[in-house]
Structure 1
Amino acid sequence: MPQTPRLEVGDKAPEFSLPDAAGNVVKLSDYKGRKVVVYFYPAASTPGCTKQACDFRDNLTELNGAGIDVVGISPDKPEKLAKFRDKEELTFPLLSDPERTVLEAWGAYGEKTMYGKTVQGVIRSTFLVDEEGRIAVAQYNVRATGHVAKLRRDLSI
């Protein structure tokens, strides 16, 4: 499978319309006029993904205070996302993309290296979409630990 194209700063953010953990449809256009962090992670309830989600949860007040919302997207089904949300007390939307169409549109699915082997999977990625729906920050292959603190430093929050 070829690498999906990567988004760059200034690109129009690909629209999405996905179910959240409760089955409600969430669209990127719901955030028009606001900044939103859209982050992609491989699987709910795994150690790295839990650490990353909890970091976003723990920094949500500061991010929201800076006018930034947060949305997480994974290939998990809504039922698994609901358990993850409830267990970790997550207060931002977790969206389900089991067909991986949004992951691919954002360049967050493709070849990656895991434990020295090349595999196909979710590429842990984070984007900041501006009020106009354009990519303001595009980060691929981010680390689960310390990533949110780096993002806050980069955005001066």
Structure 2
Amino acid sequence: MLGLPNGRVILAPWSEQWHEGFLQEKEKIEEVGRPYIAEVHHIGSTSVKYLRAKPVLDIAVELAEFKDGVYVSSLLEQLGYDYKGTEILPDRHYLSKGSPRTHQIHMFERGNSYLMEQLKFRNCLRNNEKVRKEYELLKIKLAEAYASDKFKYTREKASFIQSILRNYG
């Protein structure tokens, strides 16, 4: 199951289909974005086995040079993505796909600190069951409290995420 209505916070149980969907999308992204794309990563909660998540695939695309993001975005539009620009989230080109939204791409320059944090947090959740379960409980609580406010839901997770980034690996 993929798809999240705009502005809503709905968590779904983890699905193997998320991993399979990422692999299929990664192949398409790499095909249209060659040679500008250095690496494609599955990030966010859908990339962590057994973690409830908003049913939207988060994909990080590493570019050799940030300036290439506008051109690569025009290529990704062939796959149904809508380019949202660089002002929505810091230091990245942002794109989304679907209505309701099923995929989102965050394009960073290789080595970007936000990307490195995303990968570090994802890896911690993948490798530490205790942290994964704590994070899932927090997400469930916040999804119930802020079902109609995705920005508040995201802000309220920030202190937990920063604590993990400081204390693990």
- Length-normalised TM-score, structure 1: 0.27
User: 1 or 2, which has the higher strand percentage?
Assistant: 1
- Length-normalised TM-score, structure 2: 0.26
Structure of larger gyration radius? 2
